Structure 1
Amino acid sequence: MATVHHWTGLEAKALRLALRLSVRAFAQQLGLAVATVSKWESKLAGTEPRPDTQAILDTALGRADAAAHLRFETFLSEMTSPEQNAGRRRVTASGPRAWEYESWADDLDRVVVALSRQNFALADSLLSRWLGRFKALELDDKGLYLLARSTVLLGDLRRYQGSVVGLMSAQHSYTGARAVFSQLGIPRRVAQLDLSLAVVMEMSGKLESAAHAYETLAVDDRLSPRDRARARLWVGTALSKDGQHDYATRVMIAAKRDFEGLTEPDDWSVAHQKLALARRGVGDLEGAIRHLDIACSTGTAQSPMERVQLTTAQAHVLRTDPVTHDDGLRLLDQAARIAAQAGLGHQLRSIEAIRRTCEGAFKPQPPKPGSKQ
C-alpha cells in the first residue's frame, strides 16, 4: 500500500481523484473547509497542510481500498513533472517517489520471475509500465539504479527471444545500463553487464571474441565467485562451438570443479551438459553419454529454456550414433516444439541448424555405376 511521508497539495489532489470525490465531498469527508481543499488544488506542491491535517490525510489514505491506492499512485505519477519534482524536493527529501520506487522494485522482481519462466508477455508489460514513465534527468540515484536495472532486464528479454534484431536491441540496452551503473559507481553491475555483452557476442557468432571476453571476466574480482565460474564455463562453450573441443573440455572441467566447491548443483549439472557436447565434438561418444546421463539425472530443467537446452543436448548426442539416430531426431523435434511455444527464437534457429546437419546422415548411398548390387 502507498504511504506519504509528507503531504503537499499535490498528494492531496491525487487522493481526492483516487477516491472519486468532488472538492466539496472531499472537504466534507475530511472535516475541512472547501476553501482549504481549493487552495491545495491551486497551489499543489507549493502548499503544505498543517500537521494535524497531515494526520487526517494519512487516515483517509489508510482507509482507502487497494483499487483507490492504485489510482492514487497513477494520478500522482501523471501529475508529477520535473519542475514539480524540483519544488517538492525543496519541501521534503522523501516524497511519494519513495513508494513509487518501492512499487517499481517490486515489479522488477516480478519481471525476474517472469523471465525465468519465459513468460515474455508479462515481463514486457511490467517493464513498459516503468521504462517510459520517467526521464533520467528527473531521477535521483535510486531512480537511476532502478532505470538501469529495468534496461538490463529489457536486454535479457530481447536476448532470450533471440531474433537478430532482438540481439542488437539487447546489446543497446546492456550498453546503456552499463553507462548508468558506471556513473553510479557500482562495479559489480558493470562487470555483470560485460558478461551479458559477451553472451550477445557468442550468440551473434563472434565466438573468438566472446571466448576472450569470458576469459578476462573469469578472473575479474568485480564478479562473484559463481559469476566467475560461469564465465569460465562459457569460455568452454564458445571454444566448443568454434571446434576447439579438447581445450573446451579442460576449461569446462575447471568450471565444474568451481561449481562443486561453491555447492551450486544446478550449474554443476549444466557443466556436465556442456561437457557432453564437447566430448561429442571429438568423437568420444561414450564420454558424451556419461556426462549427459549425469546432467539428466541431476538437473532440474523446470523452465522451457532449460528443457530445450537439455533436450537439444540429448538429441545432439544421440543422433551421432547410427543406432540412436532416429531417437535423437525425435528429441530434436520435441525441443523445437517447446522452443516455438515459448518464443525462444535463438534456440529454435540452433535446432534448425542441427537438423540441417542431420540431412543425409546414415542414409545408404546410391550404388556407383557398374558396381555389383
Structure 2
Amino acid sequence: MATVQQWSGLEARALRQALRMSVRAFAGHLGVAVATVSKWERLGAGTQPRPDTQAILDTALARSDASVHLRFETLLSETGRPAAAGGLAAASPRMWDYESWTDDLERTVAALSRQDFPFASHLLHRWLARWKPGELDDKGLYLFARSTALLGDLQRDQGIIFGPLSARRSYAGARSIFTQLDIPRRVAQLDLSLAVVAEMSSELDAAAHHYETLAVDDRLSGRDRARARLWVGTALSKHGHHDYALRVMTAAIREFDQLGEAEDWSVAHQKLALAHRGAGELTKALQLIDIARTTAATDAPMQRVRLETAYGHILLSDPATANDGLTVLDHAADAATKYGLVHQLRSIEDIRQTATKERA
C-alpha cells in the first residue's frame, strides 16, 4: 500500500480524487475547514499541511481500501511528472518512486549483462531525467548516483569513453555524489571504474598506478582488490612489461580461487593468456585461453566476444594458424556489431591492422 513521506497540496488533492469526494466532503472526512482543502487545491506542491494535519492525511490514506490506493498512486504518477512547459517543479520522490527506481536498477543490471543497451538506457534515463540532485533526499541521491554509475557502465561497454556524454563523465558525477553521501566503498568502486576508462583510453601508466593503489585499498572488497591486481597486470602487459605483469596476474588468479570467484577466475585466465601472447609464449597462451573458454561462467555476449577476440589474437600471432585467427576474429566482429560493442570492434580492427603491418 502507498505511503507518503511528506504531504503537500498535490498529494492531498490526489487523495481527494482517489476517494471520489468533493472538496466539501473531503474536508468533512478529514475534519478540517473547507478553506484549508481549497488552499491545498490552489497551491498544490507549493504548500504543506501542518504536522497534525499530515497525520490526519496519513490515517485517511491508511484506512482506504486497495482500489483507492491504486487510484491514488495512478493520479500521483501522472501529476508527479516534470512539467513540459508550465515551469512547475516536479514533485519530490515518494516511497513507491524509490521502490520502482530500485527495481529498475536491478532490471538495468540484468539488461547490461546481456548487452541490451537500448532497454538499459531507457530504464536509466526515465529516472535521471525526472529529478535533479538538488531535489532529492539522501536516499534519492543514492539512487541517482547508482543510476549515473550504471550509465557509465553502459557508455563504457558501448565504447563512449571521451566527451561530455561519456563513461568518464558519468563515473566522475557518480563519484562526486557518493563522496557527498560519505560512502567510501562506492567512491573506491568508482575510482576503479575510472582507472578502467583510463586503460581503455591508452593511459596505461596512469591506469597501472591507480590499479596498484586500489589493489591494497581497504575500502574495496577482497574481490574488487583482486580485480585491481589483475588489471595492474593487463595495463603493464599492454605496455610491454610482461614479466612483472605475469607475476601480478598469477597472484590475482590465486586470490580469485581462494575467494571462490569462478567468473573472475575464468576471465583472469583469458587476460593471462594475452599476456603470454605478448611475451611470445604462444603455446602457453593457447593452453590458458582454452581454460578460459571452457570454464567461462557466463554466456553474455560481451564476454563471448572478448574470449573469441583473445583466441583469434593468439591464433593470428602464429603464421601456421593465422588464417584460423582471422576467421575467429570475423565471427567476433559480427557478434560485436550485432550487440553494439563499439570498443570491442575497435580492438578487433586494431589487431587486424597490426597483423597486416607485421606481415608486410
CA distance in 2, matches of 1:360, 1:204: 22
CA distance in 2, matches of 1:177, 1:234: 22
User: Which of 150, 153, 156 pairs up with 1:153?
Assistant: 150
Query: What do you get for the CA RMSD once the two structures are aligned?
Result: 3.2
What runs of 5+ residues in structure 2 fail to find an aligned partner?
A: none
Q: Which residue type is aligned with residue 196 of structure 1?
A: S
CA shift digits 1:278-309 (9 cap, x unpaired): 11111111111111111111113411111110
User: Which of 346, 351, 354 pairs up with 1:354?
Assistant: 351
User: Which of 264, 269, 293 pairs up with 1:267?
Assistant: 264
Cα displacement (A) at 1:358? 2.5
- Asked whether the 8 Å contact 1:12–1:57 carries over to 2, the reply is no
Taking the TM superposition and a 5 Å limit, the aligned residue runs for 1:207-222 are 207-222=204-219
Structure 1 residue 255 and structure 2 residue 259: aligned?
Answer: no
CA distance in 1, matches of 2:199, 2:161: 13
Cα displacement (A) at 1:245? 1.8
Sequence identity percentage: 56
Alignment size in residue pairs: 350
Cα displacement (A) at 1:2? 3.6
Point out the more displaced range, 61-70 or 232-241: 61-70
> Residue in 2 aligned with 1:230?
227
Point out the more displaced range, 203-212 or 150-159: 150-159
Secondary structure of 1:300's partner? coil
- Asked whether the 8 Å contact 1:256–1:271 carries over to 2, the reply is yes
CA distance in 2, matches of 1:344, 1:282: 28
Structure 1 residue 320 and structure 2 residue 301: aligned?
Answer: no
Does the C-alpha gap of structure 1 residues 256 and 166 become closer, same or farther in structure 2, counting only changes over 3 Å?
farther
- Asked whether the 8 Å contact 2:13–2:41 carries over to 1, the reply is yes
- Asked whether the 8 Å contact 1:167–1:200 carries over to 2, the reply is no
> Residue in 2 aligned with 1:41?
41
- Asked whether the 8 Å contact 1:288–1:317 carries over to 2, the reply is yes
CA shift digits 1:182-207 (9 cap, x unpaired): 12111111111111111111000111
Does the C-alpha gap of structure 1 residues 293 and 67 become closer, same or farther in structure 2, counting only changes over 3 Å?
farther
Secondary structure of 2:166's partner? helix
The TM-score with structure 1 as length reference comes to 0.83
Secondary structure of 1:274's partner? helix
CA shift digits 1:213-236 (9 cap, x unpaired): 101110111111100000000011
Does the C-alpha gap of structure 1 residues 334 and 360 become closer, same or farther in structure 2, counting only changes over 3 Å?
same
Structure 1 residue 4 and structure 2 residue 34: aligned?
Answer: no
Taking the TM superposition and a 5 Å limit, the aligned residue runs for 1:1-373 are 2-4=2-4, 9-15=9-15, 24=22, 38=38, 40-42=40-42, 44=44, 45-47=47-49, 54-58=58-62, 60=64, 62-64=66-68, 69-78=73-82, 97-165=94-162, 169-359=166-356
- Asked whether the 8 Å contact 1:322–1:362 carries over to 2, the reply is no
Cα displacement (A) at 1:314? 0.8
- Asked whether the 8 Å contact 1:308–1:335 carries over to 2, the reply is yes
CA distance in 1, matches of 2:158, 2:90: 39
Cα displacement (A) at 1:135? 2.3
- Asked whether the 8 Å contact 1:243–1:281 carries over to 2, the reply is yes
Does the C-alpha gap of structure 1 residues 8 and 163 become closer, same or farther in structure 2, counting only changes over 3 Å?
closer
Does the C-alpha gap of structure 1 residues 26 and 249 become closer, same or farther in structure 2, counting only changes over 3 Å?
farther
What runs of 5+ residues in structure 1 fail to find an aligned partner?
A: 86-95, 364-373
The TM-score with structure 2 as length reference comes to 0.85
Does the C-alpha gap of structure 1 residues 67 and 241 become closer, same or farther in structure 2, counting only changes over 3 Å?
farther
Does the C-alpha gap of structure 1 residues 298 and 67 become closer, same or farther in structure 2, counting only changes over 3 Å?
farther
Point out the more displaced range, 320-329 or 70-79: 70-79
Point out the more displaced range, 7-16 or 47-56: 47-56
- Asked whether the 8 Å contact 1:232–1:255 carries over to 2, the reply is yes
Does the C-alpha gap of structure 1 residues 84 and 225 become closer, same or farther in structure 2, counting only changes over 3 Å?
closer
